[in-house]
Amino acid sequence: MSACALLLCGVAQAGTLSGAQVPAVAGSQVAVEFTLSADSSERVTGIQFDLRFDSRALTITKIDTGPAALAAGKILSSNALEPGRYRVLVAGLNQSQIESGVVVVAEVEVAADAGGTLPLEIAALVLSDPKGRSIAAGSKDAALLLGNPAKAAETPRVRGCGCSSGGSDPGQASSGAGLLLAALAVAGAWRERRR
């Protein structure tokens, strides 16, 4: 392993965003939770990521703020960028830390002819601190497991080392993500000072 890889990936991650592995049936609708596991040494105050999936097999019908994000006074904004790709932002005009727990819940409709394991990949993950700086992050993809309970025991794809680019997939991080989260942090700091 190269020294560069050791330096980039040897850094402890401040947080991991993990998608649930959910048993499902073709033609049904299921809720998929995304959970933040945050290191107490870093204060995670904002989250942005892209959710990628096979749009022929899955349809996102709704994306909601999870209880851990709500408890921190955060709101969720999501937008379909293209078929099979949503951008999700969890932030607020405050500097409140998001504690470990469910931060996002996606309602997913499974096509009637779908089968196998259907991944919901977390890409371009950015976690931010109260000053809007990107902090090291990792991710574990979600998946819908159709018709094969043995698949539930398989380990999901894990990515990390967002320490160099601010994203969980090097080269995939949105260049505007850090700027947006920084703007929210500045607005939150300004709001806190006015109180």
**Residue 74 buriedness (CB in 10 A; 0-12 / 13-18 / 19+):** buried
Residue 147: Cβ within 10 Å count: 13
User: Do the domain assignments include residue 6?
Assistant: no
> What is the structure's pLDDT at 163?
37
Give me the number of domains the chain comprises. 1
| Residue type, position 127, single letter | L
Burial of residue 34 (number of CB atoms within 10 Å: 0-12, 13-18, 19+): buried
Residue 58 located in a structural domain: yes
According to the model, what pLDDT value does residue 12 have? 55
Place 177 in a pLDDT band, splitting at 50, 70 and 90: very low
Confidence bin at 40 (pLDDT 50/70/90):
confident
Query: Does 4 reside within a domain?
Result: no
Nearest to 116 by CA among 159, 149, 156, 86: 149
Region 44-50 average pLDDT: 97
Predicted confidence at residue 186, as pLDDT, reads: 43
Q: Where are the beta strands (DSSP E) in the chain?
A: 15-19, 21-24, 29-38, 46-52, 58-65, 75-82, 85-91, 101-110, 116-128, 134-135, 137-140, 142-146, 158-159
5 is a domain residue: no
Picking from 169, 34, 20, the residue whose alpha carbon sits closest to that of residue 90 is 34
pLDDT of residue 187 exceeding 60: no
- Domain holding 31: CATH number? 2.60.40.680
Q: Alpha-carbon distance 123 to 154, whole Å?
A: 20
On whether residue 7 sits in a domain, the answer given is no
Nearest Cα residue to 177 out of 61, 112, 89, 110: 89
Q: What distance lies between CA 130 and its chain's CA centroid?
A: 18
Quick one: tokens of 16? 């991991």
- pLDDT of 162 above 90: no
Domain presence at residue 102:
yes
Print the domain residue range for 24: 13-194
